[in-house]
Each structure stands twice: as C-alpha cells, then as structure tokens.
Amino acid sequence: MKRSLLAKQLFIIPFIMLICAACNDKSYQAFTDDDRIRPLPENPYYWQYKGKPAMLIGGSWQDNLFNHPVRLDEHLDLLVSVGGNYVRNVMSHRNTGNVFAWEQNEEGLFDLGRFNDEYWQRLETFLELTYQKDIIVQLEIWATWDLYEDHQSLGGWSFHPFNPANNISYTADESGLPIVADYPPQTHPTEHPFFRSVPQLENNERLLAFQEALVEKILSYTLRYPHVLYCMNNETGEPNEWGDYWADFIHKKAAEAGVSVEITDMRRNENIRSEDHVYIFNNPERYTFLDISQNNAWSGLGQGHYDNLLYVRERIASHPRPINNNKNYGAARHGEDESVARMARILFAGAASARFHRPHPYEDPEFMYAKSDFGLGLSPRAQKVIQSLRYVFDEVAFHRMQPHNDLLANREENEAYLLAEPGIQYAIYFTGEGSVSLDSGFGDSPLRYRWINIDEAEWSDSSTLEADEEPVFSTPGPGQWIVVIHTDS
C-alpha cells in the first residue's frame, strides 16, 4: 500500500500539527541522566533513580491505572505506605468508565484526527501523581488485548477506534484492516495486519501514520517525566520487527527531545528460553532492559521458576541490564502461596523488579483491595508481602549482592534461596519451614541476624551467632521467611 512521497507528506503533516497543538504548555522538565530511571552504573542488573539504587516492588488493582481516575490518589498513597514504588500502565481502554484516545461524532464513530482531551488529561494526572510520589511507571505502548477478540467490557477489536467499522478516518479497503478479529493474542505471529504496518513488514503507510501520531502524542506527555520505563507491547507474539520499529521510533523521539529513555518489549511465550525472547536478550542497544513476566505465568513454578531467571541473568552477562517482572500472576492454578513465593524468588534471583498482577475481572473501585485468583494486586496479603520485601531490601545493600545458592549446604530443591555479598551481608529466603547451613568463611567475625515472616511484615529481635558456632539457620515457624545476616567485619 505505497504512496508517493509528496502524498505521504501531505497526509502526515496535519497529524504533526495536531500533535504540536495538543501538547500542553509545559516544556520538558530539566532532569539530568542521574535523575532519570536508568540502569545503575556500578551494577546494571539493577535500577538507579534520582542517583540512588532503586529496587522496584509493586502491586495495583488495574493495569491501566491512568484510565481509572476514581480514588487513584488514594490507591497510589496506599502503595507507597507499604513500601511500593512500581506500577504498570497499559495504554488501554478496556474497562467500564474508561475513555478512548479519540473524539467521537454523534453517531459514535471515532475521528482519528481529533484526540479526546479527557483521555490525555487522565494520563497527565497519573504521570504527575506518580512522579510526586516517586513511583516508577512501566508504560506499555500497545495494549494487545484491546486489538484482538473482545476482552472485558470495552477491550477488543470490535470496540477499538482503529477498527474501520468504528471510525470515519478510513475504510477497510483504504487501511487494509479487518472488521473482525475474533482470535486472542498468540505466542506466534497472527494474521492481524495491524501489526504489519511497519516498513520492515508490509509498509502500510496510511495506517502507520495514524499509529505514529498516537505514539507521538503519548510521548508528548511521558518524555517530560524521568520516572517512566517504556515497553512496546503487552505480551506479544507478533513479529519482532514490529517491536523493533517502535523501540527505534521512541529512542529517536527521545533523542530529539534531549532525553534518554529505557526500552523493552514483552513477549507472550511462557518459554523464556524461546527464540523470540532470546532475540530481545541479544539486542542490548535497542532493548535496554528486559521484562520476562511470562516466566511468572502458569509454567513458572518452584525451582524451575528461579532457574529460568538465572538463565536470563547469565544469558545477558556480557551486556547486563535490569530484568523486570511487572506481572506476577495469581493463584488460579497454583495457590496464593506460590504467587507470594514468586515475588521473593524473583528478587532473590537478582531481578530488578517484581509486581503483583492485578485482580480480574473487578472494575468497580469498591473492590480494588479484594484479592482474586488472577492476581493479588494490592490486596491485604499483597500489602504485607510488599512491605516485608521493602523492609528486607532497605536493610541490605542489594546492589552489591549476587544470587549465591552455592554457599548454602543441606539445601533441598526450592527450599531456600540466597543473595550474598560474601563475607559482608546475606539474605536467605525460605519458601516454607526449613533449615540450611551457610558455608563458613567468616573468620573471627560474629554474625548478626534477624528474621521476618513475609506475610506479617514484622522483624524479629536481632540475634548474634558467635564465630565458633555452626552457621545453621532454621525458620522460626510455619510460613515463608527471610533472614538477613550481617558480619561485623
């Protein structure tokens, strides 16, 4: 669907003018690279924010928080109060009460040349609130579940403004887009032409102009803030070229704005060792961090869940960067205890972020703290776990630690996991009642330690293990525990 260069320019110019006119008056805020969220220079497996190491831990009741303004401020305050500093934000419109990005005419048809001010005001309010509260936002540009079969109240191709049946901006023939897409996202490329518009694939210039206008509009807000991470898609199986195009597009627009940003893409395949995941791992200049959330889906369990995390960490050792997990799924198949265990295993495998996935299918804010089988969100149990993990990672210099199960003796599979800066500091996570020995090598230094049950978020009193005592650590009771250990050297 190629056009002449002049026709393309005439077609795109109105969109550029529209974007510039719609941008709000605020100029880009003056942040240095140290102010922005970025890999920690001395240990790029972790994040830095405002010049300090930052462990990202979170949970929330919706994926598209910006489009849920009711009680949003309260929800973010609760997250911060329990030590959370990390949320997901999909640019989605799938729930009752959400608004769409474009204006509609009297017949309810969208005009892709006119943006809906309310949608963008919601985004700016969300960005400002999270910035003020020091909450890192992982923003997903393309909400894939809004582009296939119907999903929740307003998600799905039958509702989407890009569907030719729903707008006045093009017909099916003009856009090359279908009226019906009644299949879900897949782990492999689908037939959906929406994801073939980029030059490396079908080069659908008419459709691509509208897609670019939307992404530029998003960036006109987000690039002004230092606390936003960019993910191209929500668990996509579409060709890697699709994600590549948008990653390059955003890097270019950020550079033009004089800022640097961190970018990834999220694949749908639960096999984290699959070819499409490895493609992301092998492109560190384009994809400056990773998100391997699908390792936390139905297939990621127990020791195998942890081993997959270590595989990724080792796979990128020549170009280390943060490994994020912004979706830790719920108890639908394996119980809440496993969901809680995943949160700890993620961080004890040296990952940079962990977040409880949202409940489902709650849409009413009255239920925002109710637990559900699909994700613990910011439920009462999630709050305790987030707080406990924050206590632990505030207690240690985590950015100087490494996964070190090799220093544990008498360990059974999936019993305990160790982070360590050998000879200085240690943290052992127990998935349940257990007992392990910590390999010697402490010299004449006694060990100071204390325990926390991650469902209770309360520290035990500090204890001391003398240098001549055997360093055996046994959980104080039932439940999931972490013991933090320091030497006096």
pLDDT in tens, 257-272: 999 999 999 999 999 9
Tokens of 85: 């500093």
Question: How far is Cα 263 from Cα 243, in angstroms, rounded to an integer?
Answer: 10
Backbone angles phi, psi at 89, to 5 degrees: -140, 105
Residue 406 confidence (pLDDT) above 90:
yes
Residue 4 confidence (pLDDT) above 80:
no
Q: Kindly compute the dihedral angle of the four CA atoms of residues 365, 371, 376, 377, in this order, to the nearest 10 degrees.
A: 10
Residue 458 confidence (pLDDT) above 80:
yes
Residue with token string 């709050």: 383
Residue 6 CB coordination number (10 Å): 8
Give the three-state DSSP class for 134.
coil
Mean per-residue pLDDT over the chain, rounded: 93
pLDDT at 241: 98
pLDDT at 29: 58
Question: How far is Cα 122 from Cα 97, in angstroms, rounded to an integer?
Answer: 12
CA dist 323 → 118, 199, 367 (Å): 34, 29, 31
Mean pLDDT, residues 132-158 taken together? 97
| Sheet hosting strand 353-356, strand order edge to edge | 263-264, 228-233, 136-142, 86-90, 56-59, 353-356
CA dist 133 → 67, 79, 127, 358 (Å): 18, 10, 10, 20
pLDDT at 467: 85
Q: Which 3-state string (H, E, C) describes 445-470? A: CCEEEEEEECCCCCECCCEEECCCCC
pLDDT band at 468 (very low <50, low <70, confident <90, very high): confident
Residue 134 confidence (pLDDT) above 80:
yes
pLDDT at 404: 97
pLDDT digits (tens, 9 = 90+) for 172-231: 999 999 999 999 999 999 999 999 999 999 999 999 999 999 999 999 999 999 999 999
pLDDT at 13: 34
Residue with token string 């056009």: 3
pLDDT band at 300 (very low <50, low <70, confident <90, very high): confident
pLDDT band at 298 (very low <50, low <70, confident <90, very high): confident
In terms of Cα–Cα distance, which of 56, 78, 59 is closest to 129? 78
Tokens of 33: 């690279």
Question: How far is Cα 235 from Cα 329, in angstroms, rounded to an integer?
Answer: 13
Tokens of 126: 């969300």
In terms of Cα–Cα distance, which of 18, 7, 240 is closest to 112? 18
CA dist 191 → 140, 279, 419 (Å): 22, 21, 45
pLDDT band at 440 (very low <50, low <70, confident <90, very high): low
Check: CB of residue 297 under 8 Å from CB of residue 338.
no
What's the pTM value of the predicted model, to 2 decimals? Answer: 0.94
Lowest-confidence pick of 157-166, 398-407, 459-468: 459-468
Backbone angles phi, psi at 47, to 5 degrees: -95, 155
pLDDT at 39: 98
Relative orientation angle of helices 117-132 and 72-81, to the nearest 10 degrees: 20
Q: Which CATH number fits domain 5-400: 3.30.2290.10, 3.20.20.80, 3.90.1150.10, 3.30.450.40?
A: 3.20.20.80
pLDDT digits (tens, 9 = 90+) for 5-48: 333 333 333 333 333 433 444 455 568 888 999 999 999 999 99
CATH number corresponding to 402-487:
2.60.40
Q: Kindly compute the dihedral angle of the four CA atoms of residues 338, 342, 344, 349, in this order, to the nearest 10 degrees.
A: 140
pLDDT band at 327 (very low <50, low <70, confident <90, very high): very high
Check: CB of residue 187 under 8 Å from CB of residue 268.
yes
pLDDT band at 361 (very low <50, low <70, confident <90, very high): confident
Parse the chain into domains and list their residue ranges. 5-400, 402-487
Backbone angles phi, psi at 259, to 5 degrees: -130, 160
pLDDT at 445: 83
